[in-house]
Amino acid sequence: MPTTTLRELNGLDETPASLAEATLILIDYQNTYTRGVMELAGWQAALDSAAALLARARAAGAKVVHVVNDGGEGTPYDIRAEIGRIHPSVAPAEGEPVVVKRTPDAFHGTDLDRHVDAAGHEDVIVAGFMTHMCVAFTAAGAFLRGNRPTVVADACATRPLRAAGTELSAEHVHHGALATIADLYGVVVATGESLR
């Protein structure tokens, strides 16, 4: 069975972004996903990878933008409470903007586009929680607005899901989302260590 992607059929570039020539978008690395009802499978390993990616991006002089989801007071996404705050291991440094969103696409209804455009780079590097939701939607949003997304697989994580009576493991959901992204919306790399 052929595995030709829509990217290949459309002649889209498969070169991953360069850390020094891209904007790093870190999505929803909130405490929300480290415990309780929304705890993700493999969140610690993904967070460790994200922290390493963030350190390398800062060293390369990349523009870094943090994104958080605000679900409102009393929800697991309450950014006013400890549960909704960005995990300390990837906390914003001084001068790094934090974009607050309320939908899966971090570009929708926010000023993320202004931060990306101000950086002057077409390329964006996307990583975060959850792979099948906000990572996939933000990568698609970036693609649709003319950016070139690169998604870092090992810095993303998600959770098991159920669909049409079938239980899907977090690993299957994660890889399915990455395959969807890689089919059209962006380049997917296994690890941030591959980015130069």
Cα→Cα distances 153→78, 90, 136, Å: 26, 17, 11
Burial class (CB in 10 A: 0-12, 13-18, 19+), 172: middle
Task: Give the H or E element holding residue 151.
Answer: strand 148-152
Distance (Å, whole) CA 53 – CA 184: 24
Q: In the annotation, is 134 catalytic?
A: yes
The answer to whether 127 and 27 are in contact (CB under 8 A) is: yes
Residue closest to 58 by CA, chosen among 7, 94, 98: 94
DSSP designation for 52: H
From 64, 99, 134, 139, the catalytic residue: 134
Residue closest to 125 by CA, chosen among 53, 24, 195: 24
Q: Active-site positions?
A: 134
